[in-house]
Amino acid sequence: MRVGRGSWAFGALFVVVPSAAWAADGAEASAPVEAAPPAPVEAPVDAPEEPAPEPMAGTLQGGSTHGLEDFRFRFYQSDQRLPDFPDEPVYDYQEFVERLQLTGGSSLLTLGLQGDAVMLASNEYILDDERSFERELWSAGLMGPHPNVWFGLEKLWLTGQSGGLSWTLGDSYEAFGRGLSLNMVRNTDIDVDTSLRGLHAAWSGGPWELHLVEAVANPQQMRMENPNVGMKPDLPHAVHGLRADWYGPVHVGAQGVAFQFARAYDPTGNPFVAWRSGLDAAVAGATVEASSVGPFDLGAEFDYFAYDAPEIPVKSGYAGYVSASAYPGVAVVLLEGKLYKDTEWANTLTSGEGYEVVSGPSLEYDRAITEDSSAAVNSNDVAGGRARVDFALGQGSDTITPYVSVASFRDQDLGGVHFNAEPETIVHAMGGILLIRGEFHVLFNGGYRMDLRDDAPASNPGDSTAHGDLSVTIPLGHELSVELAPNVLHYHWGVNPVQQTDYTDFSSAVAFKIGTPYAIIVYTDYSDNSLIASTGNVSDAVYMAGELQWQPTSATTLKLFYGAYRAGIRCAGGQCRTLPGFEGARASFTANF
Partner 1 sequence: MRFVRVALAACFLALAAFSFAPPARAADGAAVGSAAEFSLKDLDGREVKLSSFKGKVVLVNFWATWCGPCQVEMPKLQEIYAELGAKGVQIVGISTDEAKLNAAVKPLVMSKHLTYPILRDPDTKVVSQFNPAKTLPFNMLVGKDGKIASVHSGYNPGDEVKLKEELLALLAK
Using CB under 8 A as the binding rule, the residues of this chain from 545 to 564 that contact partner 1 are 551-556, 558, 560, 562
Asked if residue 384 binds partner 1 (CB under 8 A), the reply is: no
Burial class (CB in 10 A: 0-12, 13-18, 19+), 512: middle
Among 7, 82, 103, 142, binds partner 1 (CB under 8 A): 103
d(CA 27, CA 496): 67
Asked if 220 and 154 count as a contact pair (C-beta separation under 8 A), the reply is yes
Nearer to partner 1, 70 or 154 (CB): 70
d(CA 33, CA 31): 7
d(CA 69, CA 537): 31
Please name every residue paired with 167 in a beta bridge, in sequence order, or none if there are none: 160, 201
Nearer to partner 1, 55 or 269 (CB): 55
Q: Which stretch binds partner 1 (CB under 8 A): 52-60, 137-145, 374-382, 412-420?
A: 52-60
Among 60, 406, 456, 488, binds partner 1 (CB under 8 A): 60
One-letter-per-residue 3-state SS of 456-483: CCCCCCEEEEEEEEEEEEEEEECCEEEE
Helices (H), 325-475: 348-351, 374-377
Supply the minimum distance, in Å, between the C-beta of residue 192 and partner 1: 12
Q: Which of residues 297-316 bind partner 1 (CB under 8 A)?
A: 297, 299
Query: 10 Å Cβ neighbour count for 84?
Result: 8
Nearer to partner 1, 319 or 426 (CB): 319
Query: 10 Å Cβ neighbour count for 276?
Result: 14
User: Which residues 6+ apart lie within 8 Å of 54 measured at CB?
Assistant: none
Supply the minimum distance, in Å, between the C-beta of residue 491 and partner 1: 23
Nearer to partner 1, 343 or 529 (CB): 343
First to last CA, the chain: 45
d(CA 247, CA 249): 7
Nearer to partner 1, 359 or 420 (CB): 359
Mask 273-292, x = binds partner 1 (CB under 8 A)?
----------------x-x-
Q: Nearest 5°: phi and psi at 122?
A: 55, 40
Asked if 184 and 283 count as a contact pair (C-beta separation under 8 A), the reply is no
Supply the minimum distance, in Å, between the C-beta of residue 188 and partner 1: 7
d(CA 258, CA 527): 42
Supply the minimum distance, in Å, between the C-beta of residue 587 and partner 1: 4
Among 199, 383, 406, 587, binds partner 1 (CB under 8 A): 587
d(CA 158, CA 557): 28
Dihedral angle of Cα 259, 263, 264, 266, to the nearest 10 degrees:
-60
Q: Which of residues 424-483 bind partner 1 (CB under 8 A)?
A: 434, 436, 439-441, 443, 471, 473, 475, 479, 481
Q: Which of residues 518-547 bind partner 1 (CB under 8 A)?
A: none
Mask 77-96, x = binds partner 1 (CB under 8 A)?
x-----------x--x-x-x
Asked if residue 507 binds partner 1 (CB under 8 A), the reply is: no
Asked if 281 and 258 count as a contact pair (C-beta separation under 8 A), the reply is yes
Asked if 343 and 305 count as a contact pair (C-beta separation under 8 A), the reply is yes
Asked if residue 40 binds partner 1 (CB under 8 A), the reply is: yes
Asked if 341 and 380 count as a contact pair (C-beta separation under 8 A), the reply is yes
Q: Which stretch binds partner 1 (CB under 8 A): 12-20, 226-234, 349-357, 460-468?
A: 12-20
d(CA 272, CA 370): 38
Among 135, 232, 240, 251, binds partner 1 (CB under 8 A): 251
Supply the minimum distance, in Å, between the C-beta of residue 485 and partner 1: 9
Among 405, 574, 581, 582, binds partner 1 (CB under 8 A): 574
Three-class DSSP category at 488:
strand
Q: Which of residues 322-381 bind partner 1 (CB under 8 A)?
A: 323, 325, 327, 332-334, 336, 359-361, 366
The DSSP line for 20-31 is HHHHTTGGGGGS
Three-class DSSP category at 11:
helix
Q: Which of residues 395-414 bind partner 1 (CB under 8 A)?
A: 395-397, 399, 401
Q: Which of residues 173-232 bind partner 1 (CB under 8 A)?
A: 173-180, 183, 185-186, 188, 204
Asked if 363 and 334 count as a contact pair (C-beta separation under 8 A), the reply is no
Q: Which stretch binds partner 1 (CB under 8 A): 26-34, 214-222, 305-313, 459-467?
A: 26-34
Q: Which stretch binds partner 1 (CB under 8 A): 21-29, 310-318, 343-351, 407-415?
A: 21-29
Nearer to partner 1, 258 or 560 (CB): 560
Helix H or strand E segment including 16: helix 8-23
Nearer to partner 1, 184 or 274 (CB): 184
Q: Alpha carbon 261 to chain centroid distance? A: 22
Asked if residue 106 binds partner 1 (CB under 8 A), the reply is: no
Total number of residues that touch partner 1 (CB under 8 A): 120
Listed residue (430, 323, 435, 433) closest to 368, CA to CA: 430
Three-class DSSP category at 74:
strand
Supply the minimum distance, in Å, between the C-beta of residue 486 and partner 1: 14
Among 9, 32, 129, 459, binds partner 1 (CB under 8 A): 32
Asked if residue 23 binds partner 1 (CB under 8 A), the reply is: yes
- Interior angle at CA 384, CA 382 and CA 389, nearest 5: 150
Supply the minimum distance, in Å, between the C-beta of residue 42 and partner 1: 8
d(CA 201, CA 163): 13
Q: Which stretch binds partner 1 (CB under 8 A): 341-349, 372-380, 389-397, 536-544?
A: 389-397
Asked if residue 41 binds partner 1 (CB under 8 A), the reply is: yes
Nearer to partner 1, 60 or 429 (CB): 60
Q: Which stretch binds partner 1 (CB under 8 A): 36-44, 133-141, 309-317, 408-416?
A: 36-44
Half-sphere exposure of 101 (CA within 13 A, CB side): 10
Q: Which of residues 111-170 bind partner 1 (CB under 8 A)?
A: none
Q: Nearest 5°: phi and psi at 10?
A: -65, -40
Asked if residue 109 binds partner 1 (CB under 8 A), the reply is: no
Q: Which stretch binds partner 1 (CB under 8 A): 343-351, 371-379, 394-402, 456-464?
A: 394-402
Nearer to partner 1, 479 or 502 (CB): 479
